[in-house]
Amino acid sequence: MYETMVASRHFEDLIKPAYFEGKQPVFNMAKGPLPGEMHLSDGQEPCAVGVCAHLRPADAVTATHRPHHIAIAKGVNLKDMASEIFGRANGLSGGRGGHMHLFDPRVNFCCSGIIAQGMGPAVGAAMAAKLRGTDDVAVAFIGEGAANQGAFHETLNLAAVWKAPVIFVIEDNAYGISVSKRQATAVEGNAERAAAYGMPGHFVPDNDPDEVFKVAGQAIERARGGGGPSLIEIETIRLEGHFMGDAEGYRPEGEKTSLQEKDPITRYRARLESAGAAAGDLDALEEGARSRVAAAFEHARQSAPPKPEDAFTTVFA
Ligand SMILES: Cc1ncc(C[n+]2csc(CCOP(=O)(O)OP(=O)(O)O)c2C)c(N)n1
Ligand SMILES: [Mg+2]
C-alpha cells in the first residue's frame, strides 16, 4: 500500500510541471501537452490503496474526475495511462479521453467527469457478477459533493433492493470545488445516509490507510458472500486546489499549511518505521515506485499523437 501511495504521488508530481508547459505567461487551459482541466489526488491516496488492496482484476471500479490514485491502485497500466493523459495514440483510449476518462477493461477500471455517474454502472457490473454466479464485486468511488446528486440516492436504493455486491466509497475531502461540505450537506456524515437505504454505513476518520483497509475488507467480504452493498465514507484531505490553477481563495487562512502537516505519505512512512520497517527498505521501495512512474511519463512523451485521418475512428460521429 505504501509503494502504491508513493507511485500515485509521484505521478501527480510529474504532472504538475508538465501541465503548466505551454500554458504561460497567461494561463491558457487549452494549450500545452496536457490541455483541459486537471484534478490531482495528492492527499487522497489512503482511500484508493486501502480499498483496492482487496480487489482482483475481475472486480470493477468506477472512479471520478479525480481518478489517478484510484486507477493506479486498481492496477491500470502506468504507461498506457500516462499516454492517455498526454493524448497519445497508444493511450488507453487512443488519446481521446484524457485524464478524466480512463478506461481499462483489463482490470475493469473506468472513470467519468460527470459526478456520481459511476454509481449506476458499478451496480450494473455488480449485478452482472451476481448473475454470472461469480463472487466478483464492484466499487464506486465518489466525492462527498457527489453524495448530493440524485444518482447517489437512486443508486443506493436499487443496490440495496437487489442486494448487489457493490461498495460505495465516498472520499470526503471537505470540498466540492469551492463549496465546503458544511455548506452543502445537512447531515453530519454521509455514512448516516446508508441506514435510509437499508445498508451498513461506515465512517473512517483521519485518512488512515490501515483503517480504510480494515473497513473496506469487511465490506468487500460481505459483498462477496452475498450480503449486499455497503457505504464507506473516508475523511481525507485534498492537498491541492480543486483543479490545477485554482487560486483556493475559499480556504480559511492557514488551512493549506495544516493540511501539509497531515500528509498521509509522511505519516504512513513514520508508522511503518515505528512498526519496524527498515528505512533503507522503504527508500528502495520508494525509488522503485518513482522510477516506474518516470518511465511511464518518458514513454508517453516519446509516443505519437493520433493521426488526423483517425479523428473519426473510435468516436460516435
Ligand atoms: C453532474 C455534474 N454536475 C456538476 C459537475 C461540475 N463539477 C465537477 S467536480 C464538482 C465537485 C465535485 O465535488 P466532490 O464530489 O466532493 O469531488 P472532489 O472534486 O472533491 O473530488 C462539480 C460540481 C459535474 N462534473 N457533473
Ligand atoms: Mg469533495
pLDDT, tens digit, for every residue of 96-134?
999 999 999 999 999 999 999 999 999 999 999 999 999
Cell, residue 21: 508547459
Superfamily name and number for 2-310: Thiamin diphosphate (ThDP)-binding fold, Pyr/PP domains (3.40.50.970)
Q: In a mutational test of the pocket of ligand 1, which residue from 45, 65, 243, 259 has the highest number of ligand atoms less than 8 Å from its CB?
A: 65
Dihedrals φ, ψ of 169, to 5°?
A: -115, 120
- 282-310 residue pLDDT tens: 999 999 999 999 999 999 999 999 999 99
**Phi-psi domain of 248 (left: phi exceeds 0; alpha: psi -120 through 50; beta: other):** left
Which three-class secondary structure state does DSSP give residue 251? coil
pLDDT of residue 312: 86
Rg (CA), the chain: 19
pLDDT of residue 315: 75
CA-angle at 108, arms to 102 and 112, nearest 5°: 35
Q: What is the tens place of the pLDDT at every residue in 222-273?
A: 999 999 999 999 999 999 999 999 999 999 999 999 999 999 999 999 999 9
Give every CB contact of residue 258 below 8 A, 6+ residues apart in sequence.
none
pLDDT tens, position by position, 42-94: 999 999 999 999 999 999 999 999 999 999 999 999 999 999 999 999 999 99
| Residue of 69, 111, 114, 115 with the most ligand 1 atoms within 8 Å of its CB, for mutation | 115
Residue 227 phi, psi dihedral angles, 5° rounding: -80, -5
Q: What is the pLDDT of residues 228-240, one digit of tens each?
A: 999 999 999 999 9
CA distances from 121 to 116, 196, 272 (A): 10, 21, 37
Of 173, 215, 214, nearest in space to 190 by CA: 173
Helix residue ranges, H only, 225-263: 255-260
- Could you report the per-residue pLDDT of 150-175, keeping only the tens digit for each? 999 999 999 999 999 999 999 999 99
pLDDT of residue 57: 98
Helices (H), ranges, the chain: 2-20, 45-52, 68-74, 78-85, 119-132, 150-161, 181-184, 209-224, 255-260, 264-274, 279-302
User: Using a 6 Å CB cutoff, which residues line ligand 1?
Assistant: 64-66, 113-115, 142-146, 173, 175-177, 242
Q: Is the pLDDT of residue 9 over 80?
A: yes
User: Which residues have a Cβ under 8 Å from the Cβ of 106 and sit 6 or more positions away?
Assistant: 57, 77
Give the span between the Cα atoms of 167 and 224, in whole angstroms: 10
Compute, in degrees rounded to 10, the torsion defined by CA atoms 8, 233, 206, 223: -70
C-alpha grid cell, residue 284:
528502495
Nearest CA to ligand 1 atom 8: 115
Is the separation of the CB atoms in 158 and 197 below 8 Å? no
